[in-house]
Every structure is written in structure tokens, then in C-alpha cells.
Structure 1
Amino acid sequence: MLQDRIEPAWIDGFETVLRRCALQPGDVVAILCESQSRRVLMDLAQLAAARIGARVFTVSLPSVFSSAEPVTRSTGASPVIQQLAPVIAALQASTLVVDCTVEGLMHAPELPAILQGNGHTQPRIVYVSNEHPEALARLLPDDVTEARVKAHVKRLRAAQSMRVTSPAGTDLSISLQGAVVGGNWGSTTRPGTLTHWPGGLVLAFPAASSVSGTLVLAEGDVNLTFKRYIERAITLTIEDDHVTRIEGAGVDAELLRSYFSAWDEADGFAAGSPGPAYAVSHVGYGLNDAARWDSMALYDKRDFNGTELRAFSGNFLYSTGANEVAGRHTRGHFDWPMRGCTVQLDGHTVVNAGKVVEA
């Protein structure tokens, strides 16, 4: 296990990110954290903001635990704010919010109100993924990745359809009509926006009834919710957005069946019926050349959140769970970065057998 202590290189990394978020001397920075936050990330954010000359304060909230649902990981929807009006008001009044919550505010219910601001100030948010700072420092945002992501966001927004295939048997058809498309490169300068660090990927949240076909999780693909590499292939049948069949032998398939079924009851659906946990959340692909597929093998689970594997260049990312565009809500969530896939937008290849094709 790497040690959670302050290192000068890690302060430098945080300072780089804050400067790329256009933080200026005198700006107000809120560091949002919870009782289970990684303390070293909070300290590094505070020290880096102080180097720049910003005015910093910390909002620390108790972590929320529930015995009424399965264990949740990597949801991107931190529950810690609990609609507390004073907390929302404090974040609205800040120039920059450094989000050090465990899960992040990306899909938190309070996010729209925070980003709206208070009429005088409109904050921007950088979610620091709950990684060990060594990983964060390896994956600093840069001009090349930012330009690459922006270019692919334009391509994705202009497309009406996506098709994904692989030698393992994946053949997925995705309508992009009505989808909400975005990208992330690890920093933001625009008020009213959120970014996450590390970055380097593009995503689409499809509208309802947009996804069908076969998705094969092959050996070496990644189940980030469980933080494990797939060792035996799993074939998923996707009908009307939902996983309707899970075929495969071994513990990887059994874990999927078990965790999916746990969300039937938690979300109020009869056992065996495909509730929102089985449905598509988002689809996209990674564009960060500095991110590595093999990095998960080198970290303890507690030191690793997995944003790097969502962003490694050429991966196709399929996710299940909440999708506000399609009107589906659940805390059950899977992220599967997949290797070796070919991704086409309106028939034009943007990822060829796991390699990004530049315009």
C-alpha cells in the first residue's frame, strides 16, 4: 500500500489542475468532503489553493450509509448533502468547488441547484476522483487531451447512431437521437460546469428505447464496480435498453447475476424483471493516452476508484444504471471498459479495434 502523506509532487499536481480551472488569487474555493473522504486529497487541495492565493474553506459532512439497499460503489451520485440548504448556499457562493466526496456530485440531486449559483456567483466544480494521489499526479489534464476530447464531442453530437462490434461477439446498435452528449478532459474554466480529474473520455446518455444487441464482456475487460478484470467471457443480451439475459460460466457471470438481482428488490421490481439497474446509463469511449488499462493490477482496492480505466485510449465504455435522459433512476451501477472494440458513428469509424481514429 502506498502511504497517504503529503508529497511536493502531489501538491504540484493539484496546483496544475486548479490553475487549469482558471483559479485566481482572491477567488473563493470550497472543499467539499465527508467523513469517509480520503484526507490526503482534501489536504492537497487546500495547500494547492493556498499556493495560488485563493480563499479556502471546507464543508465536511457525515458520510451516509444505508442498510436498505445493496453495497454501492462508483455511482457518481454522492448522497452526503441531503438537500441541506446552508450547504447548497455555501457552494453556490463559491468560485470553485473542489469535490472530494467519495462518489462525487456528477449525478447528485443537488448538482443543478449548485451549478445555477446564487445570482451573483456561479461556481464551477472539479470532482477529484477518489484515487490515490500518485494516480492523479500521473494523469494531469493537458492541451492535447483537451483538444482531442472536444473534437470527439463534436463528432458524437453530430451523429445519429452508434454501432459497436468486437471479435468477441459484441454487436450493439445505439440510437443517438435525443441523447445528451458530453466530454471530460479533467479541467473546466466555464462557470456552471462540472469536470472530473482524471479526464479524457466522451459519453452519450441515450434516450429511452435506444439500445439493443449483444454485449460480450471478454477476458481482460473490466468490471469497475467490483474492481476486477473479467476472466471468463459473459454474453449480455440487450433489449429495449435492458440486460435481459446473462450467459456465461464462472464467478464473473455469477457476480453479475447476483448483484443485478439484488437491485430488483431494492428498486421495487419483482425478481427476474429488468428494472432500471439493468438498463443502459451511458455509452462512450476513452481518449486519454496517459491512462493505462493495466493500472488496476497495481493498486489495492481501497486506493483505487477506476476513473483511469474509464478513460484509457480506445476503450468502449458501457454503463448500466441511472439515466435521467431516459427517465430512469437507481443507485445500482456498473461501468465496463472494454478492449478491442470498433465504434462507428453513422458508419464512420472513430475507434478501430481499440485504437482511436483521428479525424
Structure 2
Amino acid sequence: MPKTLTENFVDQFRLCDVKPTETVGVIAELGQKQEYVDAAVAAARQLGAGALVLHASSLSSPMLPPYTPDGREVAPLLAAAGECDFVVDVTVGGLIHSDVRTRITGNGKRMLFVAEPNDVLERLMGSTDLRASVEAGGDRLRAGSTLHVTSAAGTDLTADIAGEDLPITHQWGYVDEPGRWDHWPSGFVACFPNDRTAEGRIVLQPGDALIPWQRYVQSPVTIEVEKGFIAKVSGDGADARILNDYFEAWNDSEVWALSHMGWGLLPQARWSAFDVYEPRSLYGQELRSTAGNFMWSTGSNRFAGRETPAHLDVPMGGCTVSIDDHVVVRDGELVEE
């Protein structure tokens, strides 16, 4: 029998090691996702923890310009969140690329973003086995020097990942360590290659995904990459035209930059989610996490000093992902270690 949203929050908070001595802060937008706020508060109380709800009028970024952030609510929100031990983000768009997130985790607080429907949260709950797979992928990235991605469709992309300080994102869906951020659900590993080093070609095929548009690619698209930036988007179908229109709308060269790259590791995540569910009810974590996908993104990259609300995640199927001479994904299938 499916669990209620509160029951799933209780299970998740246990994974996040919420203790009776702690205070849980819930960041939300006024009038949005109230059922998540209620479930988070109820779960905290069931575990004996305190709960504090922090409502802002709006924190989510629009998908198209014009966009001028209003930061007047950020300082008091951060002051209150700083008194909490564990912060749950249930805003509509998430604080993933916001300095709100980095300032909370930078002060040693655990932070979790939650956006998916209840049954997705339950079906894709994290585990210690998933965590081990994600950490192994991170170790492989950290030890490598070149990330190379190819596909039968014509993708041939390389990026420099050398260096002990390579920024790596490990997402296994829960946070039980100080200063850690994660997204429930999740199951992937990604890195931010050394800036302006990505070179080559990405060829999107029908069935690849465009997030946060929450839809599948319908027609082939060829994307030429030079010095870490998209130099050209071409194709005979509507997708190439739409992508060009989106990038051009911002009138900002940084939206054309490549950001993070990695692959999915969550076996129970299904590629069909955008057709099974109402797409706009999803945040897209299932597609990001499908085992064996190659995912790359555009725009925002705090490690390179690029802050822009224009950001696409593009999970692709059928790719081969190699780190130096070691293949981690072959033709869209995970290679077992």
C-alpha cells in the first residue's frame, strides 16, 4: 500500500539522521506546495525534532527573461535558517543555483530539496548501495584527466577534468553529513569540467530529454561546442529552432556555456516518466537519474563565477562515457565495476 507524504518524509528524515535535539527549517514560497510544508513539519515532530517554517513571497526564477531578482527577503531568511540544523527546501524552482543554498551549507547545515510527486519520492528513495555507486563514480572522476563522450548518432565531446580540486556533485537523495546538499530523489554523479575546456559535438536524438521544459526531444539537433561554449545549434526540426530561441532570449553570452556533466546511477528510475506522469508535475529528477544516461547542462556554474537563471539539464540515452581509457557507460548502459 502506498505511503502518505508524511510517512515518506519520516523515512527520508531518518535517512538524513534527524535527531530529537535538532530543529528542522522548511523554506517555502507563500501559497505554494503547502502539503509538502505540512508533511515536513509533521515528520520532524514525529521524530521529536523542532520545526520552523520560513515563507518567502517568491524565490523561484522564471524560465524566460526579463528577470530581476528581489533579494530583500534573503537576509532574514538566511538568519533564521542559520539557527536550524537541517533545512528542507520545498520552493517551486528550488534554491539549487542560488547563493542561499551555498551560504546555508557553507555554515555546516544539511540541506535537502524536495519537489517530485509523492509516489516518485517513495519509489526512488535513496539507499546506502546507491550512495556507494555514486561515491565510486566521484572517485573515478577525481582520478581522471579527460571526460570523453561519444554516441552512434555522432556525439563526440571531450572536457578537461584534471585537478585535485575538480568540483564534483554527488547525489544519492539524502543528507546525513554537515554542510551537505542533496535532492530527494536523486541518483547521479556529475562534475564541473575545467572552464572553457569542453570541445566537440553533441547530437541530440528523439527521446533525449530537455529539463526543466519537461519534454522529450522530437527531432535531431547538432550542437557544436568550442572552448566550453555552444557555438552553433542546428537541425531541420523544431527543437533546434526552439533551443536557439531560448538561448537568444536572454541576450547573455553566459547562457551558452556548458556547465556540469555526468551520468545516472539509479536503477529504478525510468526514462518513460514524462509520458507516464503529467510532465509539469515533475521536476525531472527521474530522467536525470536514469541508470546509464549521460547528462550535461548549460548556463549557471558557481565554480566558474557564472550566475544566470537560464539553465537546462539534458539527459541523453545511447551514449558511451569514458574517463581517460576507462568506460563507465557503454551505449547507454552502466558498465559494472
TMscore range, shorter length: over 0.9
- The CA deviation string for residues 219-253 of structure 1, in whole angstroms up to 9 with x for no partner, is 11011132111111100000111111111012211
- Report how far residue 305 of structure 1 moved: 1.0
Q: Is the 8 A contact 2:60 2:93 kept in 1?
A: no
What CA distance in whole angstroms lies between the structure 2 residues aligned with 1:166 and 1:185? 26
Q: Is the 8 A contact 2:61 2:93 kept in 1?
A: no
State which drifts further: 328-337 or 108-117: 108-117
- Report how far residue 112 of structure 1 moved: 3.0
What CA distance in whole angstroms lies between the structure 1 residues aligned with 2:25 and 2:46? 15
State which drifts further: 311-320 or 18-27: 18-27
Q: Which amino acid aligns with 1:220?
A: G
Q: Which amino acid aligns with 1:134?
A: D
- Report how far residue 182 of structure 1 moved: 2.3
- The CA deviation string for residues 81-133 of structure 1, in whole angstroms up to 9 with x for no partner, is 6463221111111110011112222221223322233xxxx4210111x2222
User: In structure 2, what is the equivalent of residue 9 of structure 1?
Assistant: 4
Change in Cα spacing, 1:197 to 1:234, as seen in structure 2 (3 Å) is same
- Report how far residue 11 of structure 1 moved: 2.0
RMSD value, Cα: 2.0
What CA distance in whole angstroms lies between the structure 2 residues aligned with 1:324 and 1:65? 17
User: In structure 1, what is the equivalent of residue 132 of structure 2?
Assistant: 147
Q: Is the 8 A contact 2:263 2:289 kept in 1?
A: yes
Q: Is the 8 A contact 1:34 1:61 kept in 2?
A: yes
Helix, strand or coil: the match of 1:22?
Answer: coil
Mapping of 1:171-250 within 5 angstroms? 171-178=156-163, 179-250=166-237
Mapping of 1:89-128 within 5 angstroms? 89-117=79-107, 122-128=108-114
What CA distance in whole angstroms lies between the structure 2 residues aligned with 1:32 and 1:25? 20
State which drifts further: 301-310 or 160-169: 301-310
Aligned: 1:306 with 2:296:
no
Q: Which amino acid aligns with 1:139?
A: L
User: In structure 2, what is the equivalent of residue 62 of structure 1?
Assistant: 57
Aligned: 1:33 with 2:28:
yes
User: In structure 2, what is the equivalent of residue 343 of structure 1?
Assistant: 321
What CA distance in whole angstroms lies between the structure 2 residues aligned with 1:281 and 1:84? 25
User: In structure 2, what is the equivalent of residue 3 of structure 1?
Assistant: none
Helix, strand or coil: the match of 1:163?
Answer: strand
- The CA deviation string for residues 23-58 of structure 1, in whole angstroms up to 9 with x for no partner, is 011310011100253222212212211211111110
Aligned: 1:53 with 2:31:
no
> Which consecutive residues of structure 1, in runs of 5 or more, have no partner in the other structure?
1-6, 73-78, 268-274
Helix, strand or coil: the match of 2:170?
Answer: strand
Change in Cα spacing, 1:67 to 1:17, as seen in structure 2 (3 Å) is closer
Q: Is the 8 A contact 1:317 1:335 kept in 2?
A: yes
Q: Is the 8 A contact 2:171 2:186 kept in 1?
A: yes
TM-score, length-normalised on structure 2? 0.93
What CA distance in whole angstroms lies between the structure 2 residues aligned with 1:278 and 1:189? 35
User: In structure 2, what is the equivalent of residue 76 of structure 1?
Assistant: none
User: In structure 2, what is the equivalent of residue 75 of structure 1?
Assistant: none
What CA distance in whole angstroms lies between the structure 2 residues aligned with 1:131 and 1:67? 19
User: In structure 2, what is the equivalent of residue 270 of structure 1?
Assistant: none
Q: Is the 8 A contact 1:92 1:115 kept in 2?
A: no
> Which consecutive residues of structure 2, in runs of 5 or more, have no partner in the other structure?
none
TM-score, length-normalised on structure 1? 0.88
- Report how far residue 194 of structure 1 moved: 0.8
User: In structure 2, what is the equivalent of residue 163 of structure 1?
Assistant: 148
What CA distance in whole angstroms lies between the structure 2 residues aligned with 1:245 and 1:57? 48
Helix, strand or coil: the match of 1:50?
Answer: helix
Identity of matched residues, %: 37
- Report how far residue 263 of structure 1 moved: 1.4
Q: Is the 8 A contact 1:185 1:200 kept in 2?
A: yes
| Correspondent of 1:135 among 102, 120, 123 | 120
Q: Is the 8 A contact 1:146 1:185 kept in 2?
A: yes
User: In structure 2, what is the equivalent of residue 87 of structure 1?
Assistant: 77
- Report how far residue 149 of structure 1 moved: 0.6
What CA distance in whole angstroms lies between the structure 2 residues aligned with 1:251 and 1:319? 20
Task: Count residues with an aligned counterpart.
Answer: 333
Helix, strand or coil: the match of 1:147?
Answer: helix
What CA distance in whole angstroms lies between the structure 2 residues aligned with 1:358 and 1:71? 46
| Correspondent of 1:354 among 329, 332, 337 | 332
Q: Which amino acid aligns with 1:303?
A: S
Q: Is the 8 A contact 1:236 1:244 kept in 2?
A: yes
- Report how far residue 154 of structure 1 moved: 0.7
- Report how far residue 300 of structure 1 moved: 1.8
